[in-house]
Structure 1
Amino acid sequence: MIDKINQLIAEAEAFKAQSKEEVEAFRIKYLGKKGLLNDFFAEFKNVANDQKKEFGQTINKLKKTAEEKVNALKEELESKEEVKGVYGDLSRPGEPVQIGARHPISIVKNQIIDIFSRIGFNVSEGPEIEDDWHNFTALNLPEYHPARDMQDTFFIQTNPDILLRTHTSSVQVRYMENNKPPIRTISPGRVYRNEAISARSHCFFHQVEGLYIDKDVSFADLKQTLQHFTTEMFGKSKIRLRPSYFPFTEPSAEIDVYWGLETETDYKITKGTGWLEIGGCGMVDPNVLENCKIDTAEYSGFAFGVGIDRIAMLLHQIGDIRLLSENDVRFLEQFKSSL
């Protein structure tokens, strides 16, 4: 009988449970009114006197072992339930993380930077709140120059010398003031102009301006640079340069790229011509170089500027420029698969 009790003690010590129901069944088996312990206590009177002491001690050991096992298993299961209640089922897969999307402006800007960085252009940046010198005067637009009216500028009311930059050419001026030729840099950024907001124009937009200054730089260098850019950016090499006027370049030209008329958006953006103006360019005016303390007898250069917003609209078939600044999640989620 004692050997049987010792075997039950070993079984009780080795018992494991995964639920409260299993623990309760174990408790009833050993400690219940009709459990094994009651049977052994009832048998106690039939045990020989010389074995009663050992028999009683063994029964008590079984009782103590069963009670400790029940208490330990209950505590363990309650602890697991508490953790599950706070953190949920830890064995379940984690909640999916929503993948963000780059803004179409950022996508196109990064593509432009990548194209020009491969031909030696670095990136320069400057403040969006500028002074009159860097935004106008240094760029060959002295006070009362009629070309200032072309810019539709936002001035700071308390200080008419401070304004929101109308182009990133101001960054180029700052770069020329602090760096010696040869200079090969692009200046991406946001600019502001007091224009009516419509599907094709906005009071703020984004552009990338490029500047190259070195010895013996010619208009042919400018044309080939723009040809390379349009081929890499659009996969189309058909461009045209239309004579134009900019105070800080001479000669000056508008840059058009031929996109075609394959979709309704193409007709809308290009006004039915297939040609889209993406920016302006020209040879840097000697007055601008002299304002930045660059010797015009030794150096010449070209500059260009392209609109990021318009390129983004063309590449992604966006028919309304206002979509680029309204932060509509439904619109932005379409670019999750983009770079």
Structure 2
Amino acid sequence: MTDAIPQLLSHDEAALDQAFATLEAQVRAEAATLTTAEAQENFRLHWLGRKQGRLKLISEAWLKSAPAEARKPLGIRFNQLKQQIEQALEVQAGAPKTAVAGIDITLPGLVREPGIEHPLLKAMHEIVAVFHNLGYSTNLGPQVETDFYNFEALNFPPNHPARDTQDTLLVADQQKKPSRDRLLMRTHTSPVQIRTMVAQAPPVRIVIPGKVHRNDAADATHSPIFHQVEGLCVDTNITFSDLKGTLDHAMKALFGSAVKTRFFPSFFPFTEPSADVQISCIFCGGKGCRKCKHSGWIELLGCGMVDPAVFAAVTSERRKTDPADDAYNPEKISGFAFGMGVERIAMIQHGISDIGHFYSGDMRFLEQFA
């Protein structure tokens, strides 16, 4: 690279044009040889260095001897030359680099490994597929819900503990709204059941996969964000036996034909009667081990027959558009609902003891499912 500072003998337009044309030609010639990152950096320092950059030194030398009327055209031309240098650097930075030593064909090539489903998504899709095979369809809904769909329509009274801020993540500045319109992060996917029944007359057979939010402290079995798959079946003559048969089939499809199920009385505001469902331990075959706390059974999900109060809330909402609507009259129809945690299912399927592994992003953990 040329380091000598050229002399400027005159400051008329023709002399300035000729001098800067010479400098621009030098920049183009040197920029064409920039094939490595090191060469580009040397070029930048040579022309644009803050202390000894050639552009700075030439500018100072020429401006000192320039009359006042020539300083403006000199400044304009120096700015144009600087832009040319910077553009040359940008072009070269984006251009493919020429291999200096050629290509070593003995080196291993780049392997693009195919992506895989996250274990939670895989478990969710497996659960949904089981119910698709039974004729259910998938419905989805918003994660930011109103109090009406998340609590009120599901028969949660105003003083129910689940409404407490210790359990529910509320959206700020909602106090001025009516109670039913206040926004919150949904605590379950059950609001989609209400939205579906408001929009659709029976028969209804849906599964609802999705993300839910609760103000839970993270530990080995809890997370403030987790996933659920819920189901709803509404039609004429739906009985608890239909519910038991459906879930027994689903558990066998997920965990193997040898799995047994049993139902225990429970309580949920939106179902009556309600039950907790247990499966025989898949690790010990029901004999008792640490995984099942030596009981031979693992509690897995909740279920029950849809409470008539839920049908009443749906009917009230539907009658806003059709005052004569009677599609969800509990004397004519019945239904069941169920819900399970996807993390819980995945942890049992794969023998995982800490729910935090699913959210850690640790590739050593995730690659096990490839």
1:114 aligns with 129
My pick for the range that moved more, 211-220 or 191-200, is 191-200
Partner of 1:226: 247
Which secondary structure state, in structure 1, belongs to the residue aligned with residue 264 of structure 2? strand
Match for residue 309 of structure 1? Answer: 343
Letter in 2 for 1:124: N
CA apart distance, 1:270: 2.8
- Map 1:1-339 onto structure 2 (within 5 A): 85=99, 89=103, 95-146=110-161, 148=163, 152-159=167-174, 161-235=182-256, 236-262=258-284, 267-293=289-315, 294-336=328-370
Tell me how far apart the structure 1 counterparts of residues 161 and 362 of structure 2 sit (CA, whole Å).
39
Instruction: Please report how far the alpha carbon of residue 98 of structure 1 lies from its aligned counterpart in structure 2 after TM superposition.
Output: 2.0
The 3 A distance-change label for structure 1 pair 156 and 107 is: same
Cα gap change, 1:89 to 1:209, in 2 (>3 Å): same
Q: Tell me by how many angstroms 1:261 deviates.
A: 4.6
Kept in 1: contact 2:255–2:282 (CA 8 A):
no
Counterpart-to-counterpart distance in 2, 1:150 and 1:255? 28
Query: Match of 1:205, SS?
Result: strand
| Alpha-carbon distance in 2 for matches of 1:331, 1:135 | 35
1:224 counterpart SS class? helix
CA–CA separation in structure 2 for the residues paired with 1:131 and 1:175: 15
Q: 1:269 to 1:148 in 2, by over 3 A?
A: farther
- Kindly indicate whether the alpha-carbon contact (under 8 Å) linking 1:259 and 1:274 is maintained by their aligned counterparts in 2: yes
Whole-Å Cα distance in 2 between the matches of residues 90 and 173 of structure 1?
Answer: 64
Q: CA deviation at 1:331?
A: 0.7
Match of 1:144, SS state, is coil
SS in 2 for 1:138: helix
* Aligned partners of 2:259 and 2:282 also within 8 Å: no
1:118-171 Cα offsets, whole Å, 9 max, x none, are 010000101111110000000011322356459811112322521111110011
AA at the equivalent of 1:107 = K
- Aligned-partner Cα distance in 1 for 2:164–2:268: 12
Q: Which amino acid aligns with 2:308?
A: P
Distance 1:208 1:330, change over 3 A: same
CA gap of 1:198–1:99, structure 2 versus 1, over 3 A, is same
Q: Pairwise CA RMSD of aligned residues? A: 2.6
CA shift, 1:281, in A, is: 0.1
Q: Residues 283 and 270 from structure 1, CA distance in 2 versus in 1: closer, same or farther, beyond 3 angstroms?
A: same
SS of 1:119's equivalent in the other structure is coil
CA deviation after TM superposition for structure 1 residue 90, in Å: 10
Q: Percent identity?
A: 44
Q: Counterpart amino acid of 1:118?
A: N
4+ runs deviating over 6 angstroms: 90-93
Give the deviation of 1:318 after TM superposition.
Answer: 0.8
8 Å contact from structure 1 (residues 268, 319) kept in 2: no
Deviations 1:172-211 (A, max 9, x none): 1111111111000000011111222211222221110000
Q: Which stretch of the first structure deviates more once superposed, 120-129 or 136-145?
A: 136-145
Match of 2:324 in 1: none
The CA deviation at 1:262 is 3.8
Moved more, 88-97 or 131-140: 88-97
Unaligned runs of 5+ in 1: 1-81
1:190–1:267 distance in 2 versus 1, CA, 3 Å = farther
Structure with greater helix percent: 1
After superposition, the Cα gap between the structure-2 partners of 1:108 and 1:260, relative to the gap in structure 1 and judged at 3 Å, is closer
Describe the shift of the 1:246–1:233 C-alpha distance in structure 2 as closer, same or farther (beyond 3 A): same
- Residues 204 and 167 of structure 1, relative CA distance in 2, 3 Å threshold: same
List per-residue Cα deviations over 1:200-240 (Å, max 9, x = no partner).
22222111000000000000000000010001000043011
